[in-house]
Amino acid sequence: MKLNENITCAEYIKNNDMDSCICQINFNLTEDFKRDVYFYYGLSNYYQNHRRYVKSRDDSQLRGQLSLTPSSDCDPFGYAEEEGKLKPVAPCGAIANSMFNDTLMVRSLDWDIEVPVLRTGIAWTSDKDIKFRNPPGDLKTAFANFTKPVNWRRPVWQLDLNNTDNNGFQVNYCIN
């Protein structure tokens, strides 16, 4: 969608749920920031602590132990159709299916440049080393018998197009 000041992204997506929507918010900083800057914002109608939602995942799968039979905890997001065939989903479950997919970008209008945003080193080391592991070998090959969650635009091995080491179950911004 092109920018339209007469309609919100929420209104647009309600009628066009697979399209993208660009929301631009301009703000002025009155002083220089010498340290890291963090973004916080809220989502409407998102209940990440709901009991069924939290349980809807396959911990063995997320540790890199792929099985063609995902945990029943993932239902109804354990299998999806791809090219006319029913395949197991990786990662499976409601949590993965509702992956946060907003893109945040910061631009300096004074210099007309994009300010770099840190996309790695933001997950707990214990999570990345223990709870979330990639299967061994080439990720595209490892996930060949699986399909992506229905609401994802790209497969798990292509989540970070700028850093091939930040993909699979260990992509930093997906670890939760």
Assigned domain for 18 exists: no
Is the pLDDT assigned to residue 18 strictly greater than 50? yes
Say how many domains are in the chain: 1
Assigned domain for 163 exists: yes
Assigned domain for 116 exists: yes
Eight-state DSSP code of residue 115: E
Q: Give the percent of the chain with pLDDT over 90.
A: 35
Dihedral pair phi/psi, residue 138, rounded to 5°: -65, 130
pLDDT reported for residue 90 = 96
Q: How confident is the model at residue 5 (pLDDT cuts 50, 70, 90)?
A: low
Which domain does 158 fall in, by range? 46-176
Q: How confident is the model at residue 94 (pLDDT cuts 50, 70, 90)?
A: very high
The amino acid present at 47, given as its one-letter code, is Y
Assigned domain for 7 exists: no
What's the whole-number mean pLDDT along residues 110-121? 78
pLDDT reported for residue 1 = 46
**Mean pLDDT (the chain, rounded):** 83
DSSP 11-76: HHHHH-TTS----------SS---S--------TT--TT-HHHHH-S-HHHHTT---SS--GGGTT
Pick from 166, 152, 167: which is nearest to 118 by CA? 166
CB 175 within 8 A of CB 132: yes
